[in-house]
Amino acid sequence: MSTNAPLVLGIDGGGTKTVAWLALLNPLPPGEGGLRSNPGEGSPVSHDVLGRGTAGPGNPRAAGFDVAQTNIDAAIDAAFAEAKLPRQPVAAACFGLAGCGRAEEQERMTAWAESRSIAYMIEVTGDAEPLLAAASPENWGIALICGTGSLAWGRNQRGQAARCGGWGYLMGDDGSAYAIALAGLRAAVRAADGRGAPTVLLSHFLVQFGVTDAEQLVGKVYVPEMSVDRIAALAATVFRSAPSDAVSQRIIAGAAKELAKMTAALVGRLQLAPRGFPLALAGSVLLNQPDFQRLVRSEIAMRGLKPSEVAVAEPVIGAVKLARQLATAR
């Protein structure tokens, strides 16, 4: 394919993968060219996506800046390749990256993107801003993310923004896959010691790691290759164990409470009306664990909140939207 039309890039980088979409700056009427995206139920944004690319983790704080930048570059290359276009600077690019919610990370990633001549205009945000842009036509409300990490970010109708959580795997990420997995591992070894309640998590982790004794878990967990995202993947074992295991159920219930607390805290700080505010839900845990999503919704309702909810399967849609806004800003 060849095109002289101006292009934009939207990039969504998380703790597990990076997604890049190459799109036309000016969307075509329906049925005219491009790979029409399917943004998912409730999305108000239409797109003309020419190419999509994926790569490994794009969170510079969790994966390291060099690794994240390499993966972002690879995802962009793949998007151009799918579009059958030579790589070239685009009109504007929005990078929505986990671990980039603060000025320090944003400035560093912006400098890198400029050095790579990715776009003439560049915006680096955290991963929540594009999510809210994808879910809310007026770009206000709360974005709740629960994947490898966790974060709630919001903006009110006056343009004031605030965040809750998102402190990273050492200080926070409560309710996330990483937190759930870590709680599961700790519950398993407490059970092995006899100082915690019996749990099937112990036997499940032994099988998963291919060992026969709890002490052998040390040699499997404390190794350089056991990265944050690999530990987070163990949350699936906790969810799989939950139907028959009270300990797993308590871990999952506690995670849902933490996510609801984040949401309620932002409602108060941003002075949002408790009913009708947009709530965008995203992240692998919320999207892939429907029972957990229902539990989170229930915990939010128990705090007197009744949002209008949108589940966003592709936050990169919002990054494309923000890139278009950046390119056309006056």
Q: 44 falls in which pLDDT band (50, 70, 90)? A: very low
Q: Is the pLDDT of residue 313 over 80?
A: no
Model confidence over 106-158: pLDDT tens digits?
999 999 999 999 999 999 998 888 988 888 888 899 999 999 889 999 999 99
DSSP 167-184: -HHHH--TTSHHHHHHHH
If you average pLDDT over every residue of the chain, what do you get? 90
How far apart are alpha carbons 169 and 57 in whole angstroms?
15
Quote the DSSP letter at residue 225.
T
Stretch among 82-91, 251-260, 295-304, 313-322 having the lowest mean pLDDT: 313-322
pLDDT recorded at residue 135: 85
Q: Same fold for the domain at 7-127+315-328 and the one at 168-311?
A: yes
Q: What is the CATH number of domain 168-311?
A: 3.30.420.40
Q: 31 falls in which pLDDT band (50, 70, 90)? A: low
Q: Which residues contact 57 (CB under 8 A, 6 or more apart)?
A: 13, 14, 15, 16, 17, 18, 63, 67, 68, 71, 229
Stretch among 39-43, 47-51, 149-153, 253-257 having the lowest mean pLDDT: 39-43
Q: What residue spans define the domains of the chain?
A: 7-127+315-328, 168-311
Residues 38-77 as b or e (16 or more Cβ within 10 Å = b): ebeeebebebbbbbbbbbbbbbbbbbeeebbbbbbbbbbe
How far apart are alpha carbons 204 and 197 in whole angstroms?
15
Model confidence over 245-262: pLDDT tens digits?
999 999 999 999 999 999
CATH topology of domain 7-127+315-328: Nucleotidyltransferase; domain 5 (3.30.420)
Radius of gyration of the chain (CA): 21
Closest by CA to 179, choosing from 108, 101, 285, is 285
Q: 41 falls in which pLDDT band (50, 70, 90)? A: very low
